[in-house]
Structure formats: C-alpha cells, structure tokens
C-alpha cells in the first residue's frame, strides 16, 4: 500500500505542477494591426530565437533561457514533438524533456515570451517531422491531408497538449503569444480544407491568434496561407517580406512582417563528404547575418533565429532529408552552428548578434552574459566487450512470414530489425532487399559480413551472394531516421518493404524477423559469462566501460564533456542509461555531447555502454572526454 500511496502522491503532484500559476500571472492582450504586433496596445518587435525544449536536458532549461535573454532575445520559438509525447496511441508522456508547461514557466521567470509551434507536422530535422511512427499502421491514414484518420489523431494530440498548456497563454497570465498553424505547408501541398480543419482544432484548444510560416515565393504562399490567419515567411528576409507584400492580397492574412526562421547557418548530416556547417568566425558570412538582422529591426519588423540553440537529437530522434535520390541522415548533434552551441556556450557570433541587438533596444535592458564553467576533459578509458547483440534477440522471432515484416508492423518505431532466412536451394547473384534499403542493411552469411547496402548513397553498394542449401542469410537493418522534409514523408515504413530477391528472378521466401528497438539497455549486459570474442566481419557487440569525471566537477555544467570514440566505426552510446545518440566515423560529428547533468560528478564512476555495429579484432575500444569539440570527416569503410 505504501508503494501505491507514493505513486498516487507523485501523480497528484504532477497534475498540480501542470496547473501551477505562473510567477508573473498577469493577463495581457497580444494582437496586431497592419504593421505592428501589439502587447496591451503598445507596439512590440519579436526579437526571437528557436529553442526546442525536447532537445535539451530539463536540468539546463533555465541556463539556456538565461543565455537567450543575455543575447538580447525577448521571445523563444519552440517546436513540440508529437512523437515524443504520444509514443504509442493514447499513451501520453509529459515528464522530463516533455514537460512543456514547465519550460514555459521557466521562460516567463526569465522575462521571455514564447511562440508555440506544435505542428502537427514540424519538420525540424526531427524523426518524421514529429509524427509518431504508429501513424503508418492506422487504416486509411494520409498525413497532412484532409483525411479523417489523420485529423482524428491530430485532434487527440492537440487536445492533450492544449490541456497541458491550459495556463500557459498570455491571456491566462502565461508567456505564449501566438501559435503557428502547421509548418511551411506551402512546400508540401495546398489542401485548404486540411489547413482549415487544423486551424479549427488549434483554436479550440489554444488561446490567442494563429499564424502561418512559409518560404518566400508565390507557390509557397499560395499553398500554405489560409483566410483569416496571419501570413509570415522565413529564409531571406528581403525576399520573404517582398514576396508577402506582392503575393498575399487577402487583407485577413496581412499584418506585421516576421521572418519566422532566419537561418544563421544550416544542417549537418552524416557523410564523409559533408563538412560541419557554421558561420561564427567567418567574417563575410557573419557580416551578412548581422546586416540582415539589423535591417529587419531597423524596419520595425521581427525575426526568429533558426536555431538560436540547436541542442541534441537524443537517441534515435534525428530525422532525414531526401535529396538526389539519397537519404541525408541528420547527425545526433543538432549544434546547427547556432550562436549558442550544443553545450550551451556562447560563440563569437552570439556576442556579435548581442551587440547588434543592443542598438535597437533601450540601454541596460540586456543582462550580462552569465559566467560559465569550462568543458571537462576526461582521459582515455577502455571499454570491454560485454555482449553480442544477437544474444538479446530471444529464441522466438517477432514474426515468421513469407516476405520480411516491416518495422512498424512489429509495433516498433526505432532501432534495428534482424531478418533471417534459411536457404532451401542454392542460388547466387546480386541481393535486392525489398524496394531498396531502409535505411542501412548489413548482410551476413553464416554469421560473416559480406557487405553493406546503404541508402545514404544515391547508388548503394552492390552486394553479391553465393548461397548454398542450408546457409543462414541475415539482413540487419538500421532505421537512420524517417524523412522529415519531402513529398516522400507521406510513407515512412522502415526495415524491409517487399520481397527479397537474389539475381533477376529468385525470390527468397520464409523469413524470421527479430525486433531490436533498444528502447532500453539489456539487463544481460552485466552477465560476464556472455562476453563475446571479437572477430572481424562478425556481428554487432556491446562494450562497457567506466568514465570517471575529475575532482571538482558536479552533475551540472561543470561536468559537460564531448565523448569521442576514436576507434569506433558506427554505433550508439549510452551514459548512465541515457541514450546520447549515434556515432559514425564518416563525420562530420566525431564526438557526442555528454551533459554534466547526466553524470555523477566528483570523481565517481559513470557507466558507458557502446553498441559497435562493426567491431574490429585486435582493436581496443577507447573513450575520451574532450573539452573542445573537433569536427572532421573520414572515409567510409563501407563506401560503394
């Protein structure tokens, strides 16, 4: 009874925290006229920046918000990730990084307003643009359309989020000024019935007015705007503002100009040929940014820097972009070359933007930049082989089917799927897994690696197999992130979709499918009798080790470090059970951000688990903590 009683008290406390009144609970009125946003009737410029709470450890929300205020921002723009809030249909999680109402309260405590960007589609280089993977299994589902199954699911999501944020709007004494309708819909479609239905759902669950945000072009604005909803643009401010003035003629869509996403730089994706994107420290590029932002403010207009602070694509949360017939899988780091880097430290351009903003606001209104501890260095530590990945799959497959089962049909959203086929008749030729790799397939015959088929290449490698009767063919498939921007995001099944062929005509039928989502670490990691022998070309292996933070550090910013695995090829990392994300030798990301908040600090041991997908014999798995991040690229050992 004591345990049940504690659970009830915890639940009640959580409910009370959602409805807790804001510190400065003063009901205000935020609206606009043809040229100005108006706060209680007085003109207001939104000096904003994008920062998504679900990409930041909640222990650091206050610090990141203080850094926004110290750069001169007055408004935070925030995406909300539906898939994180509703991982399974009807199951809601508003704790930890998903406690959005707490983030709103903290923003208000720091004197900041918020613009809410809840989607349902948000793009943001996030997994499937924020859609839950289970949507693909709903009969009749068609995303971002006037489709009843999709609108029903959207309504359920926005109703729950609306309840969670019931006291967060400015009309209720909270910081939320306005809410975005969908996200750059003109880049996808022109279904006005869908936009209207979504607008109606938002209006029923959120106070304040709505706005749309689209690229600066006629096609974008024609498709993405809606009668009665304020139209805004993103990208180049001059192009966007001129396009709205020229192409938006409906007076119910007109009002002050806002560059809803001003890009200081751009996205990083995994590739040996893709270098880290950044602007800070480049004089010409920095001058362009400062001139643009200065021009916006001098014209009495508003902006949001995308990103002000990018944060991290934790675990398997990254999305992917489709371009030139290949998947550009976004890195775990969402540093984005932002003014405030992934670890919450100001860059050179942060200080330059701060100086520029100070010319447009009353003297003394921008607080001093807080003093921050340096990043922590951790000496080399060795990780030991602990468990073969195949040992956690279980004896019974999740599905036994004629053709391979998709990841989603297994009730699985992220991670890996292992497919096994016992060869009944000898066959040889080029292997064709379904309609193409989704997204990276390591091919094994009798436990030995024979090749990799990787859709991050426009022309993936050709893998030839020579199968004898009785051979075991294994296809190990990794979901590298569902597409978040493109017409292809309509259908985002993972694993193997369709038949597996060898050569032109032979279809391999009869598959056992094993689900390996890795939503948590296997308990058998501590079973020392299962430690595997490392051999080249063999199956993935978990390694374990201990990271000891230096004396004087604690579980806060003073413990922050960047974890590098110089001998690793590709895999995933957990620290004290927190899934940091992926690593891949191709770069440009060569280290993973480890928040001090995830560490014990004070020279205490911290458990590090590494899943290496391509272990190498006679090669130590070494970890080290870096105080300064190094971005670089290496050749892909599995390149076509």
Residues that are catalytic: 184, 261
Residue entry with tokens 């201990």:
546
Tokens of 299: 């014209």
Burial per residue of 250-262, b for 16 or more beta-carbon CB atoms within 10 angstroms, e otherwise: eeebbbbbbbbbb
CA-nearest of 422, 516, 505 to 470 is 422
Contacts of 186 (CB under 8 A, 6+ apart): 214, 215, 219, 220, 221, 222, 223, 224, 225
Q: Tell me which H or E stretch contains 195.
A: helix 192-205
Collapsing DSSP states into helix, strand and coil, what is residue 531?
Answer: coil
Burial per residue of 190-200, b for 16 or more beta-carbon CB atoms within 10 angstroms, e otherwise: ebbebbbbbbe
- CA–CA distance, 237 with 243 (Å, rounded to integer): 10
- CA–CA distance, 215 with 199 (Å, rounded to integer): 19
**Alpha-carbon dihedral angle through residues 575, 81, 522, 495, given to the nearest 10 degrees:** -120
- CA–CA distance, 223 with 185 (Å, rounded to integer): 7
Residues in the chain: 640
Identify whether the C-beta of residue 37 lies closer than 8 Å to the C-beta of residue 44.
yes
Identify whether the C-beta of residue 311 lies closer than 8 Å to the C-beta of residue 125.
no
- Cis amide linkage into residue 307, ω under 30° from 0: yes
Class of residue 380 by CB neighbours under 10 A (exposed 0-12, middle 13-18, buried 19+):
exposed
- CA–CA distance, 400 with 423 (Å, rounded to integer): 15
- CA–CA distance, 612 with 597 (Å, rounded to integer): 25
Burial per residue of 105-140, b for 16 or more beta-carbon CB atoms within 10 angstroms, e otherwise: bbbbebebbbbbbbbbbbbbbbbbbbbbbbbbebee
- Cis amide linkage into residue 414, ω under 30° from 0: no
- CA–CA distance, 80 with 78 (Å, rounded to integer): 6
CA-nearest of 511, 524, 496, 544 to 394 is 524
Between strands 592-594 and 561-564, the pairing is antiparallel
Kindly report the number of other CB atoms within 10 A of residue 536's CB atom.
Answer: 12
- Cis amide linkage into residue 36, ω under 30° from 0: no
């Amino acid at each position: 009874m004591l345990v049940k009683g504690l659970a009830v008290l915890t639940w009640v406390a959580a409910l009370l925290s959602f409805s807790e009144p804001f510190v400065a609970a003063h009901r205000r009125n935020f609206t606009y006229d043809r040229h100005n946003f108006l706060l209680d009737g007085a003109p207001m410029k939104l000096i904003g920046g994008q920062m998504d709470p679900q990409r930041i450890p909640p222990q650091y929300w206050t610090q990141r918000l203080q850094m926004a205020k110290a750069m001169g921002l007055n408004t935070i723009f925030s995406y909300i990730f539906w898939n994180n809030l509703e991982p399974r249909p009807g199951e809601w999680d508003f704790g930890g990084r998903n406690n959005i109402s707490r983030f709103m309260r903290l923003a208000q405590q720091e004197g900041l307003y918020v613009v809410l960007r809840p989607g349902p589609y948000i793009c943001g280089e996030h997994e499937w643009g924020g859609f839950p993977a289970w949507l693909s299994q709903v009969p009749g589902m068609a995303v971002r359309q006037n489709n009843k199954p999709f609108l029903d699911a959207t309504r359920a999501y926005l109703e729950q989020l609306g309840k969670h944020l019931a006291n967060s709007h400015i009309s209720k004494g909270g910081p939320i000024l306005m809410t975005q309708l969908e996200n750059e819909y003109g880049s996808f479609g022109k279904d006005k019935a869908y936009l209207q239905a979504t607008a109606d759902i938002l209006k029923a669950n959120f106070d304040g007015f709505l706005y749309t945000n689209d690229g600066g072009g006629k096609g974008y604005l024609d498709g993405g705007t809606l009668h009665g909803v304020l139209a805004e643009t993103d990208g180049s401010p001059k192009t966007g503002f001129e396009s709205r003035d020229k192409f938006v003629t409906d007076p119910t869509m007109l009002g002050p100009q806002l560059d809803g996403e001003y890009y200081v730089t751009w996205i990083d994706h995994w590739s040996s040929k893709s270098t880290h994107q950044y602007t800070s420290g480049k004089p010409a590029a920095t001058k362009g940014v400062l001139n643009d932002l200065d021009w916006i403010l001098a014209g009495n207009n508003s902006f949001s820097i995308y990103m002000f602070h990018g944060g991290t694509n934790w675990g398997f949360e990254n999305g992917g972009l489709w371009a030139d017939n290949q998947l550009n899988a976004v890195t775990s780091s969402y540093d984005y070359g932002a003014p405030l880097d992934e670890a919450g430290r100001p860059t050179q351009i942060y200080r330059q933007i701060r100086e520029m903003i100070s010319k447009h606001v009353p003297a003394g209104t921008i607080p001093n930049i807080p003093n921050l501890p340096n990043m922590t260095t951790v000496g080399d530590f060795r990780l030991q082989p602990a468990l073969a990945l195949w040992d956690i799959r279980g004896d019974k497959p999740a599905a036994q089917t004629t053709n391979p089962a998709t990841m989603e049909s297994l009730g699985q959203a992220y991670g890996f799927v292992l497919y096994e086929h016992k060869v009944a008749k000898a066959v040889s030729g080029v292997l064709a897994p379904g309609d193409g790799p989704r997204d990276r397939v390591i091919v094994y015959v009798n436990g030995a690696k024979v090749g990799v088929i990787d859709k991050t290449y426009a022309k993936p490698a050709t893998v030839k197999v020579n199968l004898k009767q009785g051979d075991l063919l294994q296809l190990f498939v990794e979901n590298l992130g569902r597409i978040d921007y493109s017409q292809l995001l309509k259908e985002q099944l993972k694993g193997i979709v369709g038949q597996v062929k060898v050569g032109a005509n032979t279809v391999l039928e009869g598959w056992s499918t094993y689900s390996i989502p890795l939503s948590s670490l296997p308990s058998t990691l501590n079973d020392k009798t299962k430690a595997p022998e490392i051999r080249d070309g063999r199956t993935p292996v978990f390694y374990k080790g201990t990271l000891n933070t230096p004396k004087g550090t604690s579980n806060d910013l003073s413990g922050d470090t960047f974890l590098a695995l110089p001998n690793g090829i590709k895999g995933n990392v957990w620290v004290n059970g927190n899934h940091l994300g992926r690593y891949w030798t191709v770069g440009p990301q060569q280290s993973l951000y480890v928040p001090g908040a995830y560490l014990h600090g004070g020279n205490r041991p911290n458990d590090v688990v590494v899943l290496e997908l391509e272990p190498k014999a006679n090669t130590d798995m070494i970890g080290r903590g870096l105080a300064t991040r190094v971005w670089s690229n290496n050749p892909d050992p599995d390149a076509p």
